[in-house]
Structure 1
Amino acid sequence: MTATLTILAITIILFVNGRIRADIVALCALAAMLLLGILTPEEALAGFSSTVVIMMVGLFVVGGAILQTGLAKAASQKIMKLAAGSDIRMFLLVVTVTAVIGAFISNTGTVALMMPIVVSMAAQANMRPGRLLMPLAFASSLGGMLTLIGTPPNLVIQQALTGAGYQPLGFFSFFPVGIICIIIGIIVMMPLTKLFLYKKKGKATGKAGGGKTLDELVDEYQLSNGLRRYMVKEQSGVRNKTVAELNLRGRYGLSIIEIRSESTDRSGLIRNVRQSLAGPDSILSAGDIIYLMGDTAVMDNFAKSNGLKRLDNNNMDFYDIGIAEIVLIPTSRLIGTMLKNSGFRERYDINVLGIKRSGNYIMTGLPEEKLMSGDVLLVQGKWSNISRLDEQETDWVVLGQPEEQARQVTLNYRAPLAAVIMVAMVAMMVFDFIPVAPVTAVIVAGLLMVLCGCFRNVEAAYKTINWESIVLIAAMMPMSVALEKTGTSAMISHSLVSSLGSMSPTVLLAGIYFTTSLLTMFISNTATAVLMAPIAMTSAIEIGASPYPFLFAVTLGASMCFASPFSTPPNALVMHAGEYTFSDYVKVGLPLQIVMGVVMTFVLPLLFPF
């Protein structure tokens, strides 16, 4: 017992100190318990196979797909429209919407669903995501108190009541308690988050990788002015011809910079898009959309004579193919070389769309243009090829970070498909008549997001997983086993309850709440509820009081744990994205946890008399 308490104390000190990463601290604590024989290897590694941890991995992937397809941005825009530019309204909407969703699905699933939406909202509002992510995590736990299925501890006390022969709780028996929790949460969190989280410095959210955004590049080089889109029709003269056969550059001074084909399924909801750069051997087919650059009058004449259909929208959507800037350094071997002899197309499959030189923009006659030191070239190609420019050459420097820019590009044509997968996942988690376990629903949803093309590639899906949070939770879970195995949990619980039992029921109620709350900071809320429910039941019977308020104190103490990042999965899920430290949770969560306990000590006897 002494060794376990010592490891726990050192772990907490290191968490608070923050100099060592939280996941490394958790792994060190786990290793120490293994070396001292407190835990067997099977017990120590059980957290890594926990359904909660596996769900977190899958939910990171699902959340990443919601971001990648632009679904989060669309939802956040609707919420921001309701907020009408007010930080307070935005805060209230995030907390309210999250709490309502959290009443019907797990708090972990709620946070995974809402987190990409909130991050997108923060980016659009030029606000640090951390201002809203901690309230999001806390609101998911607050909303869990609205219904019987909102959080596992609710089901634990239901089982304790029915097992002892008492009247079971109804689906909405928790509703009054949940409403009061949400009101308290809003009142306490609003000033605390603004005081401790709002001004904290964080990463910039406005631009990808610190470089210019794609839209800024399009505007700067005025690509839209010399860019038009045409569709190849069945009767078009260019149909079934190669780009080389057309010789557009030689005959008309035009360039095909991209060929795109789009199709929809029978429902009209799911759209498929394929992009490719126009090589000499590229064959144009009916239905293809070609992006032409050059003189607009010449383009229109060419289109008219060849039966091409002009498309009104000339905006470029960036999916697999993007644009970036590179600058030639003074020692570049390309200086003095004509662009047509530069080898960009042949070696990297890259188009050069324009040159910026001494503040001037050269957009025509590019093949014959001689390159000079300091020239900034606007290049277009597959994101992977643009990244190769940065990796394999010393003749230029790529401005910005293509990989980061590629992650910012939304595959919006996949948004309806992502929405269908997400709704199906939520339905499987909510409705009991669907015989699928929640963890299975999450795994299937994550796989479908990858297989159905909601990510650019599998690597992009893996990059959405925050392994620091995963390892933190998985490594801390065995701590609960150690505390129970050594008798530490039982000793703390029994000593506190026995010392308070001789006092008034209100004092005993407060003792049960705060004992549960304290234990939940170090072991899972479900394990704490299982441990404390029979103690609360026995204590109530011994003093001749109704067990209902005492058992509600257990589920509240277990669910309303906000002062630690590893007490609940939602707290851990937002830690990395919000750039939080352990002390941030203490500053905001501990006051909320204490206020909640004090208020509920007096409210519970009013709702459920002794």
Structure 2
Amino acid sequence: MSLQLIWVLALLATAVGLFVINRPRMDVVALLVMVALPLSGVLNVQESLAGFADPNVILIAALFVIGEGLVRTGVAYRIGEWLTRRAGSSETRLLVLLMLAVAGLGSVMSSTGVVAIFIPVVLSIAARLHVSPRRLMMPLSFAGLISGMLTLVATAPNVVVHSELVREGSKGFGFFSFTPFGLVVLVLGVGYMLVARRWLGDDDGDDSQSVKRRTLGDLIRDYQLAGRERRLRIRPDSQLVGMSLADVELRARAGTNVVAIERMVHFRLKILTPSANIVLHAGDVLLVDIYGERSDLLGMYHEFGLEPLSLQGDYFTERAHEVGMAEVTLPPESALLGKSVRDLEFRSQFGLNVVGLRRNREALVEGLLEAKLKVGDTLLVIGDWKEIRQLQARSRDFLVLSLPAEVDEAAPAASQAPHALFSLAVMVILMVSGLVPNVMAALIACLLMGAFRCIDMDSAYRSIHWQSLLLIVGMLPFALALQKTGGITLAVNGLVGVLGGAGPYAILASLFVLTAVIGLFISNTATAVLMAPVAIATAKALGASPEAFAMIVALAASAAFMTPISSPVNTLVLGPGRYRFADFVKVGVPFTILVMIVSVVLVPWLLPL
């Protein structure tokens, strides 16, 4: 074993350890790897940065944009509405349709995004059917994971494994190469969850309020916001005219939160999202939340030159099409736990305002901005519906737990839903036909969605999960470093030496187990980057089909059913489903074993060794 190989293995072990403790963030670790490998002389700079030129990285980014287009046009939510109508009052029919819908939608967009979309839908249906969300949330997450086994573009590990095959001289996988395996696993998963849901039991006590999909009025009542709302016009002589919100400092000076601004633009009323640098005009109408102790409201109006206006109906419901609310909770691994609401800087970072906090189901009225956040706290945020939906993509630090019923009427590009579906169909047809490379098909679909105004540039950029892309780019050099230093050869020789006499089935099973176990500690994308070269080299050493061995790694990378931290999809449903760690072990481990058996049997049959 050379010194360079020892260094690469030590660096790999360090990176895995940092992934496990999540300090620093995974994308930062990936960048550190990209710097360490060329500085140590294992790779040159071009080899270390080659991932940025990989077409599959662009493909994954384009798929994030396409998924966002389906959300903005309301396609995903309409599927949820269809699910509600078709399920009727049958829990069994609901579970089957739910898993089929999530798996189908997840086969062409991010499974994490699909699950985030369906969480409030499932909570609403569970409340209507008087069914515990514990019996539905885990089937939801399992379907999201299984969706990664249905198409080439369903999940990043599939694209990574395909890319490694092409790099080794193989033609790689087609768009539907994964589909036969995924369909069998999906049918198996539906049948398994119809039985396993009984192991999850029901909630202790009556949690009907927590599973009900609320309206804006419900949220106002639960967070005790009634009476705090005001609608104030800026008079021409006001000192606020020409000042930015950051300079005004209404929050610090008057205990007042500006949550929206009405402004006449070209004789049309527009609702503006407040930001620190927005400049106030005479005639602007501020929709504000007065959360501080303020007994002298008239004095405040006089001081700032504000004219109070009537506000009909409930709190901001008259502007529900433009201004929305959502409940947000912090998952256990969120980096924001222990920070105060003021420290979050929601307005500057996310374009949203925090107007409420509940702890142990009780609204915290006093000291809202200074309260240190704990696991289980829920925040009420208010702002543009577009920004609220963007918050769903930040699944690592936030979970949008509940969207009010009014969101169904607030898809910013709902009229463009047919065009979004057309763009998606064009991408699939181009990929299946092979007329253009996959990355070009995805980029064409993105351009079509932009041309049809299904998505704008700002939303497109925000939809891309840059952390995932940097993780892939940073981990790709490891495969080349292990190859150059003899690490892959060493791993293959050890695997063949120990199990070569047992036959290819035993080696396929071992590769599945090894990939699934590594995936318990690091992301499935990073696992695929590490294991794909080992699997392909093992196949060549045995004179077997590289496609079969690569397929085993791809299927195992998606089989992250065993723990709530194996995949972001599982983490998303942990809170809404009120699961314990042991619940995933109890249900996920047997299913992973079933998936392994099915994979080891099907792969050699459909992809002959």
- TM-score tier after normalising by the smaller chain length: 0.5 to 0.7
Root mean square deviation, CA, Å? 6.1
Distance 1:563 1:112, change over 3 A: closer
The 8 Å contact of residues 151 and 175 in structure 2, kept in 1 or not, is answered as: no
Contact 1:512–1:536, Cα closer than 8 Å, also in 2: no
Q: In terms of Rg, which structure is larger?
A: 1
Matches of 2:215 and 2:39 in 1, distance apart?
43
For 1:353, the aligned partner's letter is L
Q: How does 1:388-407 map to 2 (within 5 A)?
A: 401-403=381-383, 407=387
Q: 2:55 is matched with which residue?
A: 51
* Partner residue, 2:440: 440
Q: Are residue 326 (structure 1) and residue 283 (structure 2) matched? A: no
Change in 2 beyond 3 A, CA 1:534/1:77: same
CA contact (8 A) 1:326 1:378 kept: no
- Tell me the distance in 2 between the aligned counterparts of 1:525 and 1:54: 18
CA distance in 2, matches of 1:33, 1:24: 15
User: Which residue of 141, 158, 179 maps to 2:148?
Assistant: 141
Q: How does 1:59-74 map to 2 (within 5 A)?
A: 59-74=63-78
Alignment of 1:322-471 (within 5 A): 326-327=289-290, 331=294, 334-335=297-298, 344=306, 352-354=310-312, 401-403=381-383, 407-408=387-388, 411-412=410-411, 414-431=413-430, 432-433=432-433, 435-450=435-450, 452-454=452-454, 458-471=457-470
Within the alignment, does 1:536 sit opposite 2:532 as a pair?
no
Unaligned runs of 5+ in 2: 127-132, 228-260, 270-283, 325-346, 355-367, 370-378, 389-406, 576-580
Q: Deviations over 1:273-306 (max 9, x none)?
A: xxx9796x9879xxx9xxxxxxxxxxxxxxxxxx
Measured after TM superposition, the shift of residue 492 of structure 1 is 0.9
Q: Deviations for 1:475-533, whole angstroms, at most 9, x for unmatched residues?
A: 22332222223221222123212332334565455456556767896767488556644
Q: Does 1:42 align with 2:46?
A: yes
- Say if 2:552 is the partner of 1:556: yes
What is the alpha-carbon distance in structure 2 between the residues aligned to residue 118 and residue 576 of structure 1? 14
In structure 1, distance between residues paired with 2:193 and 2:51: 31
In the alignment, is the contact (CA less than 8 A) between 1:428 and 1:434 conserved in 2? no
Q: How far off is 1:401 after superposition?
A: 3.6
Residue type at the aligned position of 1:36: S
Q: 1:39, CA displacement in angstroms?
A: 3.2
After superposition, give the CA deviation of every residue in 1:305-341 in whole Å (9 maximum; x if it has no partner): xxxxxxxxxxxxxxxx9995523855577516899x9
Write the deviation string for residues 21-66 of structure 1: whole angstroms up to 9, x where unpaired: 3333333344433433333333333334433332333333332333
CA 1:528/1:182 → structure 2, altered by over 3 Å: closer, same or farther?
same
Write the letter of the residue equivalent to 2:145.
Answer: F
2:122 & 2:111 partners in 1: Cα distance? Answer: 15
Contact 2:488–2:533 (Cα < 8 Å) also in 1: no
Retained in 1: the 8 A contact 2:516–2:557?
A: yes
Letter in 2 for 1:56: I
2:80 aligned partner, one-letter code: S
- Is 1:80–2:78 an aligned residue pair? no
Instruction: Name the SS for the 1:402 alignment partner.
Output: strand
Q: Contact (CA 8 Å) 1:516, 1:528: kept in 2 or not?
A: yes
Secondary structure (helix, strand or coil) at the match of 1:403 reads strand
Which amino acid letter does the alignment assign opposite residue 560 of structure 1? A
Structure 2 contact 43–481 (Cα < 8 Å) conserved:
yes
Q: Which runs of 5+ in 1 are unaligned?
A: 222-275, 289-320, 356-360, 362-375, 392-396, 542-546, 566-570
Structure 1 range deviating more: 417-426 or 117-126: 117-126
1:517/1:558 contact within 8 Å kept? no
Q: CA deviation at 1:451?
A: 5.7
1:482 aligns with 2:478: no
Cα 1:67–1:506, aligned 2, differ >3 Å: closer, same or farther?
closer
Give me the whole-angstrom Cα distance separating, in 1, the residues matched to 2:352 and 2:159: 52
Render the CA deviation track for 1:529-576: whole Å, top value 9, x for unaligned. Answer: 56644643652x6xxxxx57x9635422333324679xxxxx877588
